[in-house]
């Protein structure tokens, strides 16, 4: 057994703050008699420059093991004293603070009682220090490259921001082109900006940036590793078109197969060989294997024959690649709520009932009707009803407000009037979510220019029905509204595949299925695991401006933590698992909020990844065999502290 | 040279530990050939006086099983300590109180009342209960005092080694006997079983998911248990994570959850409290109400978490509030 | 009973309840000196073994104070603490120990007054209950 530990006890008067309420002379006299206490020093104010000097000098040249500082709260000066003691070679773990100010002098009226309590607190610190184990500062090398999953507006802006900082960025999208949802909209409210004009330059910048690698028609299949050291496996699905394709569309003309276009939300068609939209990034087209006659029955080769650049490659295969990055930004966007789930709204049943996105597509100049909104029979609509909160604010629909549909719902009328000044527009709404100067003005203008706003107490009672070839929209307490077209302002749901991606990334989703933020205020762009960041609507419904801001904030956070040439500091007081004792029961893994523990099925033991452990200690409490220990808060230290409180 | 002297003695015991020795089967012949058993009440006819007559320390090892709850048991335990070089606490009762120690949740009065007066199969109209002294036909008969508290062996004597289990398994018994005979023993105070919990050798461990979340506690008596899946994953309380390995998982293989008879590993102070700590991490519920709903499924926490370890629990025996 | 000074140990989590106790100090909100605090990083660190050990070593009452549900610095450590303490309370009752000797509560960093109030209440409550002589055995029966 090593020689008994020598302790130094420092008593701070803190001016009158402690000295007037605790009899420090008595405490010093008591401490002198304790076995192992080699020196006792009192000072008026240890945290002052003079006090810190004195502290330093007092320890110099003495072979002291444990330092007990009876003073103010450790939240004030624990670090200060740890650093000072560190100068004389004493490890930070051996510096214990006895809080005799906030927890004693300042809250105990009777001086005798306060003195007794001070002794107990110092005694506890002495006993605790006996079991101190060396703690060390540790750093870790990190990869500074970034992976962005999702190439919509927030993903693209995140990519540009990271590239600006000189990082290598991978942007992966499962669609055949970047652009996300916003590219499907022509004019964005409230300033009615042209979305393609806004996005085209951004798409260009992303395409031309040598630090950004664009991987489309691809999906992430696995993520391994952890913060600073991720490996992502990506499957690039075959396009059957080589990268040298410039999207000139010559092959479109000769392709004999026409199919419904998902880009046009089923309202238009494209050929089996197609690009997502003119100006896609990348420009290369893609062939729909299930529709293409070459694949179905080898009966066609027309596109290959006409391609001026020999870009058609029917033999192309899926390709799996692996990339190493330091952080991942999830920018997977959102999906629209499916209106066919609400039969009373007539969607899919009654002609000329559209969702917001379908309306946007129709109104877009690159849409199925070249921007002219028409009824199914080809006529111009004379009266349009826009139903706000369609399927939203309902327990059996979307229980929350998505916050942006009102804006698009008001925009509907503005777009309709631009095409036909005589059109009647009725917005049936509950509360209107149109905050801020720009949106409020947008609303007032729309109202002034003719949109009739009909307040409906309970939009859950809105019913859309056919009525003599026209459409009747009714609701509790409302006069029926007679129109020939209905637009349902539907809410936002998490993107398809969110749950699977969340599992792959080992991050949490919230009760609505969106990726859950680490902290809704302090860290709304961080996921529940270090190194994974959330951009855009992946973290919850928001508008375009917020989406982009989140993207920049998310990647900004990522790149400011992962700086080239700089290693990251790791948490000091992590947990660790004794592999000699660990049975591999894995209960610790169930309780770790940071997924910092992994099970090795060969060795059949668990181990803590100290790079991502946050030191909460719940695994140490959970471990029923005592194999998991929380550094600096071990069982031995706590039992000793309890003992110390009672023996004084 | 004389063969080493060995004692097998039972205190408050069910006899299962004696059976465990018999379970050694043929190996028992090797044991009896190598040693001289000088006290084994269940099998041989030696008397206490024979032991009293021996020199102190002349018995190589005494394997004492059973808990201590009577004057006689304490007396003989102390006698054997005096006369033995080594004392091994044999079986869960000696190690931590065992099943008899569950009586620490009640009192001697209550135990006597139930056993001698109110139990359905008792016919005791005169209301006779044991007393320490009675005079019959001019003679005085005495009975050992029956304690209010059930103690473990090391509460009354210094114990050298602990052999846990209800009952200990043949492998570990042979190992212990050999270690003594060959003088190849670990540090004094050691438990003669691996220092890892049962999950390390349990075949069902791989089936335990990495996110155990029990929404409903299910009991063996009212649930069909899947024989291949981890008990905890099925909502059945299994003490495996908090219990030392070494038993060969007889219970698990019989599709019954571990009840904790091998006691905790070295790194734990209190087996029951440790299992409660683990349970707290793997039960469903985010607020008091939903947690209460799950907890209502644990009908007898003390019996579940301290089935064999009541004498070793930090909280000790049942306390009635009383003035110091 | 009224001259009995109950000994209370309170496990306080570093982020919320310790800060709340510090704030009580800053505001000079006094409470009985027999309440002594032990810092842990999270209430989820508090092992039921610690609670029982505290009782065993002389505490008449034990408090476990953490962040309010939803505010845990480590996401849900406090919920685990709640589950453990609720189960422990069931056990204490079976052991004949009044479960009011164990108090789990939430103290935010700004709740200095709550800290003062609940510590004072705990002391009074435990004073009423009397000392917990938990030495585990009826000593007189061991010769």
C136 pLDDT above the threshold of 60? no
A334-494, CATH topology level: FAD/NAD(P)-binding domain (3.50.50)
Q: Using the beta-carbon criterion (under 8 Å), do C87 and B148 form an inter-chain contact?
A: no
CA neighbor of C114 nearest in space, from C17, C32, C26, C1? C17
Q: How far apart are CA C15 and CA C65, in angstroms?
A: 11
DSSP C141: G
Alpha-carbon distances of A539 from A492, A493, B264, rounded to whole Å: 11, 11, 44
Tens of pLDDT along A56-77? 999 998 999 999 999 999 999 9
A to C CB pairs, distance under 8 Å: 111
pLDDT confidence of residue B30: 82
Share above pLDDT 70 across residues of chain B, in percent, rounded to a whole number: 97
Confidence tier at C137 by pLDDT (50, 70, 90): very low
pLDDT confidence of residue A258: 95
pLDDT confidence of residue B107: 83
Q: Which residues of B touch A587 (CB under 8 A)?
A: 212, 232, 241, 278, 281-282
Give C41 to chain A, closest Cα distance, Å: 6
B205 touches chain A (CB under 8 A): yes
Note the CATH architecture for domain B5-99+149-181. 3-Layer(aba) Sandwich (3.40)
Confidence tier at B2 by pLDDT (50, 70, 90): confident
Q: What is the pLDDT averaged over residues B149-153?
A: 92
C47 touches chain A (CB under 8 A): yes
Share above pLDDT 90 across residues of chain B, in percent, rounded to a whole number: 85
- Helices of type H across B84-210: 92-96, 108-112, 170-181
pLDDT confidence of residue C134: 61
B265 pLDDT above the threshold of 90? yes
B54 touches chain C (CB under 8 A): no
DSSP state letters, A121-172: HHHHHHHHHHT-------EE-----EEEE--SHHHHHHHHHHHHTT--EEEE
For residue A563 the two structure tokens come to 């700086």
Tens of pLDDT along A219-235? 999 999 999 999 999 99
CA neighbor of B104 nearest in space, from B141, B150, B61? B150
Q: What average pLDDT does the structure give for chain B?
A: 93
Q: Which residues of C touch A100 (CB under 8 A)?
A: none
In the numeric block, the tokens 């946007």 are attached to A360
Q: How far apart are CA A448 and CA A435, in angstroms?
A: 18
Tens of pLDDT along C43-87? 999 999 999 999 988 899 999 999 999 889 998 999 999 999 999
Q: How far apart are CA A315 and CA A298, in angstroms?
A: 13
Q: How far apart are CA B250 and CA B255, in angstroms?
A: 9
- Residues A558 and A326: beta-carbon distance below 8 Å: yes
Q: What is the pLDDT averaged over residues A171-197?
A: 92
Q: Using the beta-carbon criterion (under 8 Å), do A616 and C28 form an inter-chain contact?
A: no
In the numeric block, the tokens 């706000």 are attached to A388
Alpha-carbon distances of A221 from A56, A236, A265, A499, A516, rounded to whole Å: 56, 10, 27, 13, 21
Q: For the domain bounded by A7-135, which CATH number is listed? A: 3.40.50
Q: Report domain extents, chain C.
A: 8-141
pLDDT confidence of residue A648: 65
Confidence tier at A647 by pLDDT (50, 70, 90): confident
A406 pLDDT above the threshold of 50? yes
Q: How far apart are CA A290 and CA A292, in angstroms?
A: 6
B78 pLDDT above the threshold of 70? yes
A4 pLDDT above the threshold of 80? no
Give C31 to chain A, closest Cα distance, Å: 6
pLDDT confidence of residue A92: 96
pLDDT confidence of residue A370: 86
B130 pLDDT above the threshold of 60? yes
Q: What is the pLDDT averaged over residues C23-45?
A: 97
In the numeric block, the tokens 């071990």 are attached to A634
Tens of pLDDT along B292-319? 999 999 999 999 999 999 999 987 644 4
Note the CATH architecture for domain C8-141. 3-Layer(aba) Sandwich (3.40)
For residue A542 the two structure tokens come to 């928001």
DSSP state letters, A357-389: HHHHHHHSTTSTTTT----TTSPPPSEEEEEEE
Alpha-carbon distances of B138 from A489, B134, B141, rounded to whole Å: 103, 10, 10
Q: What average pLDDT does the structure give for chain A?
A: 95
- Residues A620 and A582: beta-carbon distance below 8 Å: no
Q: Dihedral of CA B30/B31/B32/B34: which sign?
A: positive
Q: Using the beta-carbon criterion (under 8 Å), do B210 and A583 form an inter-chain contact?
A: no
B275 touches chain A (CB under 8 A): yes
Report the b/e string of A377-412 with b at 16+ CB within 10 A. eeeebebbbbbbbbbbbeeebbeebbbbbbbbbbbb
B110 pLDDT above the threshold of 80? yes
Name residues 241-260 of chain B within 8 A of A (Cβ). Answer: 241-242, 245
Pairing of strands B161-163, B59-65: unpaired
Q: Choose from B77, B315, B322 for mutation: most chain C CBs within 10 A.
A: B315
CA end-to-end distance (rounded Å), chain C: 30
Q: What is the pLDDT averaged over residues B205-218?
A: 96
Nearest to A116 among C22, C33, C77 (CB): C33
Q: Which residues of A touch B268 (CB under 8 A)?
A: 624-626
For residue A518 the two structure tokens come to 């680490």
Q: Where in chain B is the domain with CATH 3.40.50.700?
A: 5-99+149-181
pLDDT confidence of residue A623: 98
Q: Using the beta-carbon criterion (under 8 Å), do B197 and A635 form an inter-chain contact?
A: no
C41 touches chain B (CB under 8 A): no
Tens of pLDDT along A370-385? 889 999 998 999 999 9
Tens of pLDDT along A249-259? 999 999 999 99
pLDDT confidence of residue A202: 95
Q: How far apart are CA C21 and CA C28, in angstroms?
A: 10
What contacts A461, CB < 8 A, 6 or more positions away? A475, A476
A1 pLDDT above the threshold of 80? no
pLDDT confidence of residue A3: 66
In Å, how far from its chain's centre is CA A510? 11
A14 pLDDT above the threshold of 70? yes
CA neighbor of A18 nearest in space, from A144, A83, A108? A108
- Helices of type H across C9-111: 17-26, 48-57, 77-94
Q: For the domain bounded by A571-631, which CATH number is listed? A: 3.30.70.20
CA end-to-end distance (rounded Å), chain B: 56
Nearest to C95 among B292, B298, B319 (CB): B319
Give B277 to chain C, closest Cα distance, Å: 6
pLDDT confidence of residue A278: 87
pLDDT confidence of residue B320: 37
Q: How many residues does chain A have?
A: 648
B to C CB pairs, distance under 8 Å: 131
C142 pLDDT above the threshold of 60? no
Share above pLDDT 70 across residues of chain C, in percent, rounded to a whole number: 91
pLDDT confidence of residue B316: 65
Report the b/e string of A414-430 with b at 16+ CB within 10 A. bbbbeeeeebbbbbbbb
Phi, psi of A149 (to 5 degrees): -100, 105
Q: Using the beta-carbon criterion (under 8 Å), do A102 and C22 form an inter-chain contact?
A: yes
- With CA atoms as reference, the chain B residue closest to A586 would be B210
pLDDT confidence of residue B32: 81
- With CA atoms as reference, the chain B residue closest to A589 would be B210
Alpha-carbon distances of A225 from A327, A384, A501, A531, B165, rounded to whole Å: 11, 53, 15, 10, 42
pLDDT confidence of residue B31: 81
CB atoms within 10 A of CB A648: 18
Phi, psi of B25 (to 5 degrees): 55, -125
Q: What is the pLDDT averaged over residues A155-165?
A: 97
Tens of pLDDT along A303-340? 999 999 999 999 999 999 999 999 999 999 999 999 99
A483 pLDDT above the threshold of 90? yes
Q: Using the beta-carbon criterion (under 8 Å), do A622 and B280 form an inter-chain contact?
A: yes
Tens of pLDDT along A539-548? 999 999 999 9
Q: Using the beta-carbon criterion (under 8 Å), do B281 and A622 form an inter-chain contact?
A: yes
pLDDT confidence of residue B321: 31
CB atoms within 10 A of CB B304: 20
pLDDT confidence of residue A10: 97
Q: How far apart are CA B32 and CA B3, in angstroms?
A: 10
pLDDT confidence of residue B319: 45
Note if the bond before A282 is cis, omega within 30 degrees: yes
Q: Which residues of C touch B299 (CB under 8 A)?
A: none
Nearest to C91 among B292, B302, B319 (CB): B302
Give kind and range of the element (H or E) at residue B146.
Answer: strand B146-151
Q: Report domain extents, chain A.
A: 7-135, 334-494, 571-631
- Apex A86 CA angle, A81 and A88, nearest 5: 110
For residue A512 the two structure tokens come to 């609505």
- When mean pLDDT is compared across A9-13, A255-259, A430-434, B1-5, the lowest value belongs to B1-5
Rounded-to-5 percentages of helix, strand, coil across chain C:
45, 15, 35
């Amino acid at each position: 057994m090593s020689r008994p530990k020598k302790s130094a006890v420092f008593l701070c008067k803190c001016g009158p703050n402690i000295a007037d309420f605790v009899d420090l002379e008595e405490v010093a006299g008591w401490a002198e008699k304790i076995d192992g206490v080699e020196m006792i020093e009192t000072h008026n104010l240890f945290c002052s420059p003079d006090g810190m000097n004195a502290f330093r000098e007092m320890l110099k040249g003495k072979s002291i093991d444990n330092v007990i500082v009876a003073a103010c709260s450790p939240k004030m000066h624990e670090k200060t004293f740890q650093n000072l003691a560190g100068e004389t070679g004493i490890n930070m773990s051996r510096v214990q603070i006895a809080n005799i100010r906030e927890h004693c002098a300042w809250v105990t009226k009777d001086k005798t009682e306060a003195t007794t309590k001070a002794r107990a607190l110092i005694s506890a610190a002495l006993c605790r220090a006996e079991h101190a184990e060396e703690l060390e500062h540790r750093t870790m090398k990190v990869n500074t490259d970034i992976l962005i999953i999702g190439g919509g507006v927030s993903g693209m802006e995140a990519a540009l921001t990271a590239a600006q900082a000189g990082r290598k960025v991978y942007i992966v999208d499962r669609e055949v082109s970047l652009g996300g949802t916003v590219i499907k909209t022509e004019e964005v409210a409230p300033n009615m900006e042209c979305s393609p004009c806004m996005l085209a330059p951004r798409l260009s910048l992303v395409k031309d940036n040598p630090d950004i690698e664009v991987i489309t028609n691809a999906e992430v299949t696995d993520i391994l590793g952890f913060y600073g050291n991720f490996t992502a496996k990506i499957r690039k699905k075959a396009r059957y078109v080589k990268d040298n394709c410039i999207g000139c569309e010559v092959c479109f003309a000769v392709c004999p197969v026409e199919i419904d276009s998902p880009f046009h939300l089923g309202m238009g068609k494209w050929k089996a060989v197609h690009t997502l939209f003119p100006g896609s990034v990348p420009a290369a087209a893609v062939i729909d294997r299930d529709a293409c006659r070459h694949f179905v029955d080898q009966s066609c080769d027309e596109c290959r024959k006409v391609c001026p650049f020999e870009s058609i490659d029917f033999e192309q295969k899926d390709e799996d690649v692996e990339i190493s990055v330091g952080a991942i930004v999830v920018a997977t966007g959102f999906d629209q709520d499916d209106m066919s789930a609400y039969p009373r709204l007539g969607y899919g049943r009654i002609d000329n009932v559209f969702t917001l996105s379908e309306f946007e597509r129709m109104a877009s100049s690159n849409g199925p009707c070249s921007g002219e909104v028409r009824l199914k029979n080809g006529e111009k609509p004379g009266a349009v009803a826009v139903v706000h909160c369609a399927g939203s604010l309902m327990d059996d629909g979307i229980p929350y407000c998505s916050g942006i549909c009102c804006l698009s719902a008001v925009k509907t009328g503005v777009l309709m009037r631009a095409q036909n000044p005589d059109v009647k527009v009725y917005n049936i709404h509950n509360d209107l979510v149109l905050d801020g100067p720009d949106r409020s003005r947008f609303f007032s203008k729309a109202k002034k220019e003719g949109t009739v706003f009909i307040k409906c107490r309970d939009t859950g009672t809105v019913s859309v029905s056919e009525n003599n070839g026209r459409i009747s929209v009714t609701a509790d307490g409302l006069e029926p509204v007679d129109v020939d077209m209905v637009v349902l302002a539907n809410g936002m749901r998490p993107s398809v595949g969110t749950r699977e991606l969340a599992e792959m990334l080992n991050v949490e989703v919230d009760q609505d299925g969106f990726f859950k933020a680490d902290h809704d205020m302090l860290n709304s762009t961080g996921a529940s695991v270090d190194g994974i960041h959330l951009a855009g609507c992946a973290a919850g419904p928001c508008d375009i401006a917020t989406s982009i801001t989140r993207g920049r904030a998310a990647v900004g956070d990522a790149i400011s933590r992962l700086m080239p040439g700089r290693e990251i500091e790791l948490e000091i007081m992590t947990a660790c698992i004794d592999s000699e004792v660990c049975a591999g029961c894995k209960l610790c893994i169930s309780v770790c909020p940071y997924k910092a523990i992994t099970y090795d099925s060969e060795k059949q033991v668990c181990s803590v990844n100290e790079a991502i452990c946050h030191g909460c200690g719940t695994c140490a409490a959970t471990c029923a065999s005592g194999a998991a220990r929380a550094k600096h808060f071990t069982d031995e230290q706590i039992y000793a502290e309890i003992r110390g409180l009672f023996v004084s | 040279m004389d063969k080493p002297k060995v004692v097998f003695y039972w205190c408050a015991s069910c006899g299962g530990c004696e059976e465990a020795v018999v379970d050694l089967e043929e190996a028992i012949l090797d044991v009896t050939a190598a040693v001289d058993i000088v006290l084994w009440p269940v099998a041989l006819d030696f008397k206490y006086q024979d032991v009293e007559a021996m020199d102190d320390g002349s018995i190589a090892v005494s394997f004492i099983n059973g808990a201590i709850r009577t004057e006689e048991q304490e007396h003989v335990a102390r006698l054997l300590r005096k006369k033995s070089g080594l004392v091994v606490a044999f079986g869960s009762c000696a190690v931590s109180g065992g099943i008899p120690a569950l009586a620490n949740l009640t009192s001697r009065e209550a135990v006597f009342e139930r056993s001698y007066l109110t139990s359905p199969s008792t016919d005791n109209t005169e209301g006779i209960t044991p007393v320490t002294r009675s005079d019959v036909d001019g003679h005085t008969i005495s009975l050992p005092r029956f304690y209010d508290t059930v103690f473990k062996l090391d509460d009354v004597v210094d114990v050298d080694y602990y052999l846990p289990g209800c009952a200990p398994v043949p492998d570990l018994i042979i190992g212990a006997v050999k270690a003594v005979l060959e003088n190849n023993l670990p540090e004094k105070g050691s438990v003669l079983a691996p220092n890892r919990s049962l999950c390390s050798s349990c075949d069902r461990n791989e089936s335990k998911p990495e996110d155990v979340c029990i929404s409903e506690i299910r009991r063996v008596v009212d649930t069909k248990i899947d024989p291949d899946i981890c008990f905890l994953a099925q909502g059945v309380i299994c003490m495996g994570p908090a219990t030392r390995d070494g038993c060969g998982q007889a219970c698990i293989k019989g599709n019954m959850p571990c009840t904790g008879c091998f006691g905790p590993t070295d790194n734990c102070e209190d087996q029951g409290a440790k299992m409660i700590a683990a349970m707290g991490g793997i039960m469903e519920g985010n607020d008091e109400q939903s947690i209460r709903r799950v907890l209502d499924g644990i009908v007898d926490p003390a019996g579940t978490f301290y089935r064999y370890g009541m004498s070793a629990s930090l909280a000790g025996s049942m306390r009635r509030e009383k003035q110091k | 009973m009224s001259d009995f000074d109950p000994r209370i140990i309170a496990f306080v989590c570093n982020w919320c309840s310790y800060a709340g106790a510090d704030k009580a100090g800053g505001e000079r909100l006094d409470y009985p000196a027999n309440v002594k605090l032990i810092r842990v990083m999270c209430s989820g660190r508090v092992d039921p073994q610690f609670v029982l050990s505290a009782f065993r070593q002389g505490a008449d009452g034990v408090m476990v104070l953490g962040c309010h549900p939803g505010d845990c610095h480590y996401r849900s450590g406090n919920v685990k603490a709640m589950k453990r303490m609720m189960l422990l309370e069931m056990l204490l009752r079976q052991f004949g120990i009044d479960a009011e000797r164990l108090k789990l509560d939430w103290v935010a960093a700004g709740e200095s007054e709550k800290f003062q109030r609940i510590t004072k209440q705990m002391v009074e409550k435990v004073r009423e209950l009397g000392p917990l002589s938990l030495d585990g055995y009826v000593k007189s029966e061991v010769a």
